[in-house]
Amino acid sequence: MRQATFSIRKVIQNGYTFYSIYTPAYLSPTGKKHYQYFGTKAEAERKRAELIASTRTESKITDLSNVQIRDAQRALERLAEHGLELTLDRAIELALPVLRSSGRKITVDQLFQDFASAKQNDWSDASKRAFNTSAKTFLRRWSGTLISTIDGDDLETWYNSTFPSSGYRAHELRTIRPAFSWAVRKKLIHESPYSRMESIRIKRKPITIYTPEEAARLMHSCPFDARAAFALLLFAGVRPKELTRLTWCNIRDGYIHISADIAKTQQVRNIEMESTCAAWLDSTGPHEPNAPICPPDWIRRARAIRAAAGIHSIPDTPRHSYASYHLAAHKDIGTLKANLGHAPNSDTLFIHYRAAATPADAERYWAILPPSAKLADN
């Protein structure tokens, strides 16, 4: 490309003398040729020197076509319109992660497959089933869609129209959102479409617990072979799914040992056994160490036993009852969290259980004993 000379021309007009410098279009910031005017030749000479020095120190500019120069100017104007005081180099630096991720042709189907493969050793069987179920629902709408093209507003509209209850929507969000967060960490996308969605507020219902009279009626009316199972639910707070995996070898030394293969969260814990629970377990006699706690056909039988006792069959009510009456009796949140398998920083106990039962109710609850047994000090 030719070197500009920026020649100075003397102009006399209406009795006034001034000096002009011509700048060709390929060096003009506007992409159009233009003239600059000065009152003295000395001022014009200084400006000419600046322009010549500029073309030498920024020689790369001279390699650009007029179209490229105009394109760069338009890009700077667009940045300015949005209040972004950035150089083109800085703008490109910020945009590159987005451009790189959007260029990857990863579909939702492929993302779910890769995410499940990466997490297979970390998930419990229940977590795998939950993800697979939610993924099938998600793919009925988004199968074949590139993850880089999913818009957060469209996603939110779909969730609101597909899952009418806030609890259902929250569950589906919790299950699928980690896959997109994983995609961000793996630089498959720049930003998760979930990041701009409104959070879902769930109106939680008060927990349900058995009254001491209901718990006593259940324990005293249940068949002999179901005593131990109901005792662990009501007086140790064992989760229903964990109960079905327990054998008598997990009951020893005053504790219920919940191993990783039994626990819902795969976290080992030892539940301190209350004397009430121990009394009911002792009343069932000796057992083979590897014998299961639950009798055969447990789910159906447990439902029938509760119905015969005249109490409802909400699965978590025994665990809620244990937590409420334990907290009312002992006021020991630390021990109760450990027994329940809650994280140390969890506020679930404070929110749900601190006012659920009175000390007087707790005293009656922990006094529920098998026939001819005496309550030991708790």
Instruction: List for the chain the helix, strand, coil content (%; round to 5).
Output: 55, 10, 35
214: CB partners within 8 A, 6+ apart: 309, 310, 311
Q: Which residues pair with 272 in a beta bridge?
A: 255
* pLDDT confidence of residue 99: 58
Domain 212-365: CATH superfamily is: Intergrase catalytic core (1.10.443.10)
Other beta carbons less than 10 A from residue 320's beta carbon: 20
Q: Which residues pair with 366 in a beta bridge?
A: none
Give 353's DSSP letter. T
- DSSP for 105-117 reads --BHHHHHHHHHH
Decide if 151 contacts 160 (C-beta within 8 A): no
**Where do you find CATH 1.10.443.10 in the chain?**
212-365
Structural element, H or E, at residue 311 = none
Say how far apart CA 23 and CA 32 lie, in whole Å.
9
**Where do you find CATH 1.10.150.130 in the chain?**
108-196
Say how far apart CA 282 and CA 21 lie, in whole Å.
106
Other beta carbons less than 10 A from residue 220's beta carbon: 13
What spatial distance separates the first Cα and last Cα of the chain, rounded to whole Å?
94
Sheet strands (E) in the chain:
8-13, 16-23, 34-38, 251-252, 255-258, 269-272
Decide if 22 contacts 7 (C-beta within 8 A): yes
Give me the CATH code for the 108-196 domain, please.
1.10.150.130
- DSSP for 148-208 reads GG--HHHHHHHHHHH--SHHHHHHHHHHHHHHHHHHHHTTSSSS-GGGGSPPPPP-PPPP-
Decide if 252 contacts 318 (C-beta within 8 A): no
CA distances from 222 to 15, 209, 231 (A): 118, 18, 11
Residue 15 is encoded by which pair of tokens? 């009795």
* pLDDT confidence of residue 140: 95
Give 295's DSSP letter. P
pLDDT, tens digit only, all 378 positions of the chain: 456 678 888 888 888 888 998 887 767 666 677 788 888 999 989 888 888 877 765 555 456 677 788 888 888 888 888 888 878 888 877 776 655 555 468 999 999 999 999 998 888 788 899 999 999 999 999 999 999 889 889 999 999 899 888 888 888 999 999 999 999 999 888 889 998 887 766 566 677 899 999 999 999 999 999 999 999 999 999 999 999 999 999 999 999 999 988 887 778 899 999 999 999 999 998 899 999 999 999 999 999 999 999 998 788 899 999 999 999 999 888 898 889 888 777 666 656 666 578 999 999 999 999 986 544 444
Structural element, H or E, at residue 284 = none
Say how far apart CA 248 and CA 354 lie, in whole Å.
32
Q: What are phi and psi of 327, to 5 degrees?
A: -65, -40
Other beta carbons less than 10 A from residue 334's beta carbon: 9
Residue 136 is encoded by which pair of tokens? 């099938």
262: CB partners within 8 A, 6+ apart: 242, 245, 246, 250
Other beta carbons less than 10 A from residue 195's beta carbon: 11
Residue 304 is encoded by which pair of tokens? 């029938």
Q: What are phi and psi of 107, to 5 degrees?
A: -85, 165
Q: Comparing C-alpha atoms, which of 264, 219, 218, 230 is closest to residue 245? A: 264
Q: Comparing C-alpha atoms, which of 273, 271, 236, 281 is closest to residue 378? A: 273
Decide if 147 contacts 188 (C-beta within 8 A): yes
